[in-house]
Amino acid sequence: MTGDDLREVMETCLPEHVLREAIEAAGLQQRERRLDAVPFLRAMVMSASSPSGGRQADVVRTYFEAGATRVVRGSYYEWFGGPLETAMAKLATIAMDYAARFPRDLPGILGGVTDWRIVDSTTVHLHKHLKEIYPGTGDYAAIKVHKTMSVGSGTTLAYHFSPAREHDSRHLALDESWRGFGLLIDLGYASLERLRECERYGVRVVLRLKENWQPKVKTIQRGEVTRTFTSGTDFDVLLADEVLLLNGKAIDAQVSVGTGATSVAMRLVGVRSPKGPYCFYLTNAPATLGPRQIADLYRVRWEIETNNKLDKSSHRLDQIDARKPQAVRALLHASITASVLVGTLIHRHHLAAHGDLPAGARRTTPPLHAGLLARMLSTCAMRIAETMDETGPRAAAEWSRLAGVLVHMGEDPNWKRRPSILDEIRGWKSSVRKKPRRPAERLKA
């Protein structure tokens, strides 16, 4: 990542003229002498990774430390209202739109689609005063953040909020805009209607097999079959009667899920997990992807779980201390905007470092770690904000220095020992050699 890369990301997502447009549209700038909204909105994002105290207090502290005129406590809490929520939502949209412009990093088995999308939600507990507006599943207040994440860019593409009590599945609707994409989801989104939507809109999907589903087996391409069977036999019956053996070999079968005219044709693949039991997946991916590759694709779904954890640990998504719904949503928008900025910086850095490598080539430049980069970005936040208002050679040198610091401190120290499945697919291979097993006769001796 160069200084120009860092400057472009920051000035595109948080420039003064864009902030002014968002402020004007939201009606946030009411009194010039009381609030200069541009640094205030920047403080909303920059303080998302600052663990100093309460989120609202940190925003105002950052704002005052930047040189703004101090006001009484009651006045600045009034700023966290509807106009601020609208402005922060606008900033998040700008950041996500900017991230969507870059090429996707989809080598190997990730190819064949426009992009893989992962859909999941994370729950944020709120102050008890908001229990009627955002009821949780128990006697508490909580809000769900429903996210759609791009595997190809590592950033959030879209999100919305709902009361935590609402089920996840109702918040995913496929349409024509999904055509050509891939979808990775957990069992919370699994339904026969969703499989039909994937078939209708040409969406490639991978999900775990639900326990109460009873797929009918038409043919078996891989797996040890002990005798012939009738097409349409229940998969569970084949296992119970030992027609299909679970002996460690991968399984690949053509099945139908559902009944009658509404049934959906799918592939059912099964692989033995490292811990012993088999894991079964449903997919409509072509046969060019084997069972173990399908299993690896599903493991990529964990990227959104990691992203949610980072949003909570690095961007303080679950440290919302506000008591007004508008303030809660404004702070959530700020956290997600900060997360998208970090993801975009990482994606740009990896494209620049590995964009010219041939397919399947091993990557040797260390990847950036989102959590480390987020912490370092927070540390440099005020200097970045100041540099955004500077011009000339001095500003260019400062951007280069800041970029160098972010890259140096953001490199993943464990990438050679514990690469994620997504890193391995992209070419970051583990350098840890497994010790060869001793021959049985030597163990007996």
256, 369: one domain = no
Residue 441: what pLDDT?
42
Query: What's the number of domains the chain is made of?
Result: 2
pLDDT the model gives residue 41: 78
pLDDT at 434: 53
Q: What is the model's pLDDT at position 66? A: 64
Looking at the fold, whether 218 and 333 belong to one and the same domain comes out as no
**DSSP string over 294-327:** HHHHHHTTHHHHHHHHHHHHTS-TT-----SHHH
Q: Is residue 90 part of a domain?
A: yes
| Same-domain status, 265 and 244 | yes
Output the CA angle 68-73-74, nearest 5 degrees.
120
- For tokens 């005798």, name the residue: 227
So what's the pLDDT on residue 33? 46
The angle formed by the CA atoms of residues 57, 62 and 64, to the nearest 5 degrees, is 95
- The predicted structure's pLDDT at residue 72: 66
Instruction: Clarify whether residues 312 and 415 are in a common domain.
Output: yes
Evaluate whether residue 156 is within a structural domain.
no
Is 246 inside any structural domain?
A: yes
Identify whether residues 363 and 419 lie together within a single domain: yes
The rounded Cα 252 to chain-centroid distance in angstroms is 29
Q: Are residues 14 and 86 in the same domain?
A: yes
The torsion defined by the Cα of 333, 334, 336 and 337, in degrees rounded to 10, comes to 110
Please tell me whether residues 274 and 332 are part of one structural domain: no
> Which residues constitute the domain of residue 229?
204-290
Domain match, 313 and 285 both: no
Let me know if residue 36 belongs to a domain: yes
Examine the domain organization and report whether 282 and 362 are in the same domain.
no
Going residue by residue through the chain, which has 445 residues, state the pLDDT in tens, using 9 for 90 and above. 899 999 999 989 888 888 888 777 766 665 554 456 777 777 778 767 655 545 677 777 766 766 666 666 666 677 778 888 888 899 899 999 999 999 999 999 999 999 999 999 999 999 999 999 999 999 999 999 999 999 999 999 999 999 999 999 999 999 999 999 999 999 999 999 999 999 999 999 999 999 889 999 999 999 999 999 999 999 999 999 999 999 999 999 999 998 888 899 999 999 998 888 999 999 999 999 999 999 999 999 999 999 999 888 888 888 788 889 998 998 899 899 999 999 999 999 999 988 778 877 888 889 999 999 988 888 888 788 788 888 889 999 999 999 999 999 999 988 888 889 999 999 998 876 555 545 544 444 3
Model pTM greater than 0.85?
yes
Tokens, residue 105: 């990093």
Report which of 344, 395, 398, 405 is spatially closest to residue 375, judged by C-alpha positions. 405
